[in-house]
Structure 1
């Protein structure tokens, strides 16, 4: 394995490490608690379970896509949306009764988690669309294509 491939792999691993294995494993080991947390978004216990199972699928399958390079742009796009949706559903800093910018505040702590979700979403969008404006069209032309992350030559899918 060359240094360049190792860097590409570790970069992608750092993006998905939050989800696979940690968040996915947490959902499996603490399914009841995860379902209870999902109850913040819905009053239906069945829908809450479906949300957790959907999240588990997204975290495992899409993370593997980003890591392996198989349909990695689409996988990263889905993970970006997942980060944004989970921020809005579960990091509602604006609802905290003690939200303030100065002094102790659980709402402010939640704000940082909210912003971190969007920062990770931005990282996934870089995988999706590439670093330049000219690369955006490539995703829409072939959303299931690969960025060929472990190729040692520049490829234009």
Structure 2
């Protein structure tokens, strides 16, 4: 049963970060020029776009690795929640095309926008836990691990 518990704990975290590591990070690496072009649409110039893509790579790889390993996982999940919110606001602006009600690009972006916030919610569950009693432990020590792979015997 311990092996199953560990597999489920790891698998759950893997499903949450799988979009970022390896897929989004790998896409940014393999299609760096295209990623910079997309970022340039949001910020208007190439140098800040390159910085944003490099920061995004660091967040996606570093924070995902922390979440998977359990090292600083709560702080990393908090960063990832913010990352999901910021990317939704910068790149999933469903209100801009003006065709939401006619089923155009705006409606497609709306679902991606909501997906980003749903992912943020998943990351916040790692950050704060699943109940009100666990929130204080994050604020008491935000860099502490949640010890996701510790199995305690039932009492």
Could you say which TM-score interval applies, normalised by the shorter chain?
Answer: over 0.9
Counterpart-to-counterpart distance in 2, 1:2 and 1:115: 34
Q: Which residue of 1 aligns with 2:124?
A: 125
Matching of residues 130-141 of structure 1 within 5 Å: 130-141=129-140
Confirm or deny: 8 A CA contact 1:98 1:106 kept in the other structure. yes
Q: CA deviation at 1:99?
A: 1.8
Q: Which residue of 2 aligns with 1:4?
A: 5
Which 10-residue stretch deviates more, 22-31 or 90-99? 90-99
Q: CA deviation at 1:41?
A: 1.8
Counterpart-to-counterpart distance in 2, 1:128 and 1:98: 36
Confirm or deny: 8 A CA contact 1:129 1:139 kept in the other structure. yes
Q: CA RMSD in A?
A: 1.1
Q: Which residue of 1 aligns with 2:33?
A: 32
Confirm or deny: 8 A CA contact 1:83 1:120 kept in the other structure. yes
Number of corresponding residues: 152
TM-score by length of 1: 0.94
Q: Which residue of 1 aligns with 2:97?
A: 96
Give the 3-state SS of the residue equivalent to 2:95 in structure 1.
helix
Q: Which residue of 2 aligns with 1:87?
A: 88
TM-score by length of 2: 0.95
Unpaired segments ≥5 residues, structure 1: none
Counterpart-to-counterpart distance in 2, 1:40 and 1:99: 20
Unpaired segments ≥5 residues, structure 2: none
Q: Which residue of 2 aligns with 1:45?
A: 46
Confirm or deny: 8 A CA contact 1:91 1:110 kept in the other structure. yes
Counterpart-to-counterpart distance in 2, 1:145 and 1:16: 19
